[in-house]
Amino acid sequence: MRIALLLALAALFVAFPLAFPWLAFVFTLVISKGFAALGVAVLLRAGLISIGHALFYSLGAYTVAYLSRGAGVTDLILQLAGAVAVSSLVGLIIGLFMVRYRGIFFAMLNLAVSMVFFTLLSKLYALTGGTDGVRIGTPTLFGTTIERDTLESILLYGGLVLAFGVGYLVHRYLKSPMGEALPAVETNEIRLEYLGIAVPRVLLAAYVASAGLAGLGGAMYGLLVGHVSPELAYWTISGQLVLVAVLGGIGGVVGPFVGAFFLEIIRSFAVIYFDNIWNLIIGAGLLIVIFFLPRGLYGLIERATQRGPRR
């Protein structure tokens, strides 16, 4: 049943851009945000709210920009891999400090680091292009140049395949002892220590994974938009990633993607029909989800498509 639901969602995902080409852009954005929100969701499972993951999201995009302009690495696959590697590495370094913090202090420290990063991006004009940002050129694939249109198809359909692949891996991770330990950190960290489990190590793994996921999403974003500016690292983007994760539901891997989908669709329509109040719509939607749908929108979809209780 759940597989069927997933396939239906995927089919929807493929069908619409074929009918309406501009939606391809929006849908690719959904995948990109979905990856980043999935990263945030991994940490949320441990009760850790990061108002700073825009750091890794923008880092992914800036890494791609730097690889293609500064280092001459033009291959798409290498760029994506590079972005994941760089953001994971930075995640590891920052994570070493982060794993000592919980609750609001974790949120605050993430905020601080990301805002330092944000201001550096805007300020190091010579290095980052300042607030105007940098352009990201069309990459090559296996040594052949590709057209912009081809790139967009690759990003959408390749991204979808990647989302399934990465999603499956993250699913396995969340079901593994290390993954199942995450909610346990929130409910009873002391007991975990008394089971001989090194909580900081559990969290460091999660932090690195979440940074890598956000970096992957950011790299896709950069390639898709073709331009990246510091606003991508601003705290409101971090807030949006948390919002997307919670909106979709943090219980599983699909939730963040569903959340990203709803956010982008609402946004696309809001700018056409309800100019000026899309924040209001998103905010109200978030409140409804928090107060009435604790398992997020994906929980709602699941409930509508299957009978019988499930944990």
Cα 36 to Cα 52: distance, rounded to the nearest angstrom: 11
Cα 229 to Cα 121: distance, rounded to the nearest angstrom: 8
Q: How far is the CB of 230 from other proteins (least distance, A)?
A: 9
Phi, psi of 277 (to 5 degrees): -125, 25
Q: How far is the CB of 143 from other proteins (least distance, A)?
A: 22
Q: How far is the CB of 192 from other proteins (least distance, A)?
A: 8
The number of C-alpha atoms within 13 Å of 275 and in the hemisphere containing its C-beta is 1
Q: How far is the CB of 44 from other proteins (least distance, A)?
A: 6
**Judged by CB, which is closer to other proteins: 51, or 86?**
51
**Judged by CB, which is closer to other proteins: 120, or 161?**
120
Q: How far is the CB of 303 from other proteins (least distance, A)?
A: 12
Q: How far is the CB of 177 from other proteins (least distance, A)?
A: 4
Q: How far is the CB of 10 from other proteins (least distance, A)?
A: 13
Residue 134 bridge partners (DSSP): 228
CA torsion angle 281 282 287 293 (round to 10): 110
- In order, the DSSP letters of 128-155 are H-GGG-EE----EETTEE--HHHHHHII
Give, rounded to a whole angstrom, the gap between the first and last alpha carbons of the chain.
15
Residues in Cβ contact with 252 at an 8 Å cutoff, skipping those fewer than 6 apart: 171, 174, 298
Phi, psi of 135 (to 5 degrees): -85, 145
**Judged by CB, which is closer to other proteins: 214, or 242?**
242
Cα 201 to Cα 38: distance, rounded to the nearest angstrom: 20
CA distances in angstroms from 290 to 61, 185, 301, listed in the order given: 31, 22, 16
Buried b (16+ CB within 10 A) or exposed e, 69-93: eeeebbbbebbbebbbebbbebbee
